[in-house]
Every structure is written in C-alpha cells, then in structure tokens.
Structure 1
Amino acid sequence: MLQSEQIKEAAAYIAARTTVQPEVGLIMGSGLGILGDYITDAVTIDYADIPHFPLSTVEGHAGELMIGKLASRPVVLMRGRFHMYEGYGPELTAFPVRVMKAIGVNKLLVTNAAGGINTSYEPGDLMLISDHINLTGRNPLIGPNLEEWGPRFPDMSEGYSRRMRQLAAETAEAQGFSLSEGVYVGVLGPSYETPAEIRMMRTMGADAVGMSTVAEVIAARHCGIEVLGISCISNMASGILDQPLSHEEVMETTERVKSRFLGLVNAVVPLL
C-alpha cells in the first residue's frame, strides 16, 4: 500500500472516533506527556489501534493519541513519539505528522528533551528552537514525492515559525521568565554523544542536541504546517560536566520543570 493511502486510512480511523476537528497538533517529548491531563472532552486512542501507526517503546512515551480541547482550542496530542533509534525509518517517525495534516491540523507544537551544548544553559531551561541541523543522515522525504502533500524540494529557510516564536517569548515574559532561543541538532542515537562530537556540534553552531524532532519538522513544513519547537534542556551534553549521562536524569528534570512548561503551553496554544 502506498504511504498516501496509509495516511488516509489512519486519518479516517481517527476522524470516525471524534467530532472534534483539531487545528493544532502537539508532539510531546520524554516526560512531557503530562499535558494530556489538561485536555478536555478527550478521546484517547492507543497507537496500536490506529492503522499503520508504529508503537512507542521508550520510557516516558505513553503511546496514545488524544483529541479534544486545550484552553478551548481543538487539538490532537501525541503522548509519546517515534524515534529512528527504535528501528523506524524517517518516513514512519514522521507518519503521524502527515496524518495530523489529513485531519485538519495546520499548526504544530513539537517539544523534546535535549542536552545543552551552549554552556550558558542549565538543566531545566526551556529553549525555543530557531533552526535545526540534521545529523541523522536520514530524511522522511526520500523516495517518490507525495505531490498531494507538498513539493519535491520544500523550503526549510523558516522551519520554525518566527511569528510563533515571538508569541511564545511574549507569553513566557508575561509569566515572569525568559526563553532561550537556539539551534537544535538532531542525531540518530540511541547512544549519547561523545565529548568530541559535542565540541564539533558547538563549532557548527548548535545549542542543544537530541534524538528526535527533525524528521517530524521536515514533514510538517513539506505539507505546509507552521511549526513551533520547544526544547527542555534536561541535562548538559557530554563532556561539559564531569558526570555520566542517563535517561533517569532526563526524566527527573522534565518532572521538575513541568509546571513552568505546562503554564507556557496552556497559554500559548490558544494564540497559535
């Protein structure tokens, strides 16, 4: 079956289970799926029940799709995403974004837990993604182009919306804190980066590093979805501090900052 047909089949399955037509898509990173507790009139669908959807296998990723309203805005929320290090190709990690487009989404908020490369950052900081560097060596658009979804050669000069970044920055300021803004570098994983790799990334202009997001954003921009990206700096990247890295530290940090994160997202979603 062609991916275009798979997208339509998955979208039809979801649409048949809710009367809400979502406008904003939300993809939550490790430990950030708590946002789903704030969605009202929610319909929850297990990924396993959606035709052609992969399954989340990572701690902190619940593996559920929620459709409802967040601060009165109709949304669809992914509680957990798919990563290429789980064995999925980039076209599968980006598959839900195209399904979102098919059910009406035209704005996407993508979040992740990331390692801080910029030494002015501290664990717990929230960073607006201004741009990304794709070091995965993979792209979800490789292969025959789905002409009905977007052009063969999509523009990525504004992968992350300036307009939406400004809204987020103003929202954070009104709540009494500031957001950093920086470049996210996406890597394949699942091993954490070496200190030498982090030094290379800093030289390239990267401020934070993670194992997700880039394929989703490429697919979103390909089909005309406007994107806002927020990284939670969950730890400092390899070699910056004299300590080993662990997924437990990521989860602990996201738990610590969840109130600030939730306040920001709840306030900014109605404005997108």
Structure 2
Amino acid sequence: MADAEELLAMNLSAEQLAAAVAETTAVVRAGWSEHPHAAIILGTGLGSLAEHITIEAEWDYRDLPHFARSTADGHRGRLLAGRLADVPILAMDGRFHAYEGYSFSQITFPIRVFAELGASFLILSNASGGLNPTLRSGDILLIDDHINLMGPLVGQVFKLPHESLYDPRLLARSEQIANEEAIPLRRGTYIAMLGPNYETRAEYCWLRTLGDAVGMSTVPEVLAAGELGLPVVAFSMVTNVFRLDDTQQTTSEEVLHAASNAEPNLRRLVTKLLTSDL
C-alpha cells in the first residue's frame, strides 16, 4: 500500500477513500471504545485546551494510518480521546494546512474519521488576523459564514448542502453561553487564504472590505463536514488587528502569545457548549 502522504495526495475513488477511513477508524476504536459526543480541532495557540482533557487514549499522527503530520508552530500532532467536563470527545491537538503541502483530501481526512466514529458535531478553532476595525486582540469571533480564497479546487469535490454550513443551533447556543458567562464574543465572516505568508498592507485593505477576520485554515474542514452532514461551529481567536497606521509585521510568536492569553475564555465557552442540551 502507498504511504499516507502518497495515498491521500492522489484523487481517490469513493471506494478507496472509504477503505482508508475504515482502516483509521478501526485503529481508534481498538484503543478507545467510547462514542464521542463531539470532535474538536485545536488550532494555533489553543493546544493548551488539551491540558484540561482527561485523556483515556492518544495517538501520534504518525501512528494513525493515512493521517498527515502537523508541522506548523504550536501544533503538537496527536489525536486525543477522553473527556472534557465528563463529556466523551475526540480532539486533534494540531491540524493540517494547505501551506504545509497537503491536499484538501489530506486536510479533511480526519473529519471523515470523526463522522465514521459517530461524533454528533464538530468544534473548530483557529487564530486569525482581525480586519473589522472594531475587533480587538483577544476577541473570539464566532464564524457564521466564510469567503474561500484558497484558490481553485484541485482533486476532491465536495457536494455541499444548500443551507448554512455553520449550524444555526450551535451558533445560537454559543451566543447564549457567551452572554451568560460574560465572554466577549463577536459574530462575523472569516476569510480563508492559503498562506503561509501574512497578508500585505494592500491585501489587508482589500480584505477588510470583504470580511471580519482572515486566516489560513478551517474552511476545508467545514466543507467536508457539510458534505458529511456533520454540524459545525467554528471559533476564531483574533490575535492581531490590522491598522492602517501600523507599519510593524505580525510574527508567529505574537500570534501564539495572543492566542494563549485568550484561551481561557474559549475553553469556558467550549466546555459549556459540550455540556449543553442541544
């Protein structure tokens, strides 16, 4: 059999993809027999949420058939199975990005595994640059729509539903929890770019006419979940906000620092959401 990167970089048939998903699912089920209530992808700077999970099983990505490898800063590259607030969950401690050289098939493969394992919904998180001038560093953006600027689709074709890709019930409950817990939460449109370069001033000026925040992930996973009928809620940690008079370039260290400072609020929000009666 071809190795993980070679296999999933190819345009697989439906039968080949189903077989790959089944193989990975079997490995996870052999090590953890619980039914996951939800699956969570921990984005840039949010890996510390993993410290609050009661881990019952874990796998390095290299030990899971057909999983890619995390190479981005702050992404540890392991799948966790356990409990958060006594709720059984699966959590990806590190995601995959197109700028790491991965195809959309590789990036979204874990979503297919989560659906096969029976997750009821998917929670996504990422770090982003703020475009809306009313945003502040450390704000949490509740993504209610996106603009996909990741370029033409190559390989995998997603068959998407006509309704919103971001689940209305999860959006409403997230806003309700934020109000009850006094957690600053903004709602808006996320723009996905390929990366890995941060945007130029000219690009920022253009992008702020389109949406509220910009990042380099999340949309491929949302598209895959939409095709699978898996409800999605996505949160973006605003780590910096574009200012016309700011001439300093954002660094990866600043992004990680801002995301880690804001992590407690997102952790509270996610924990309350997991224990909600949806």
TM over 0.5: yes
- Check whether the contact 2:183–2:265 (CA below 8 A) recurs between aligned residues: no
What letter is aligned with 2:177? T
Q: Distance in 2 between matches of 1:198 and 1:24?
A: 34
Give the match for residue 149 of structure 1: none
Q: Is contact 2:55–2:80 with CA below 8 Å preserved after alignment?
A: no
* Contact 2:130/2:239, CA 8 A, preserved across alignment: yes
Contact 1:119 1:240 in 2 (8 A): no
Quick one: distance in 2 between partners of 1:171 and 1:139? 36
Deviation at 1:161, TM superposition (A): 1.2
For structure 2, the 5+ residue unaligned runs are 1-6, 8-15
Aligned-pair RMSD on alpha carbons? 1.7
Match of 1:129 in 2: 143
SS in 2 for 1:235: strand
Paired positions, count = 263
Q: Alignment partner for residue 231 of structure 1, among 236, 254, 259?
A: 236
Number of the residue aligned with 1:80: 94
- The aligned runs of 1:155-166 (5 Å cut-off) are 155=161, 157-166=163-172
Is 2:197 the counterpart of 1:191? yes
For 1:5, which of 19, 33, 49 is the aligned residue? 19
Distance 1:207 1:89 in 2: 26
TM-score by length of 2: 0.90
Task: Pick the aligned partner of 1:63 from 51, 56, 77.
Answer: 77
- Structure 1 stretches lacking a partner, 5+ long: 146-151
TM-score under structure 1 length normalisation: 0.92
How far off its partner does 1:238 sit?
A: 7.3
| Higher alpha-carbon deviation: 77-86 or 169-178 | 169-178
Q: How far is 1:270 from its partner?
A: 1.6
* Amino acid in structure 2 at the alignment position of 1:197: E
- Would you say 1:264 and 2:269 are equivalent positions? yes
String of CA shifts for 1:10-62, please: whole Å, max 9, x gaps. 11111110121212010011110111112225211110100010000111101
> Which segments of structure 1 move beyond 3 Å, counting only runs of 4 or more?
237-240
Return 252-261 or 206-215, whichever deviates more: 252-261
Query: Is the Cα–Cα contact under 8 Å of residues 10 and 50 in structure 1 kept in the other structure?
Result: yes
Partner of 2:63: 49
CA distance in 1 between counterparts of 2:110 and 2:55 reads: 21
Give the SS at the match of 2:31.
Answer: coil
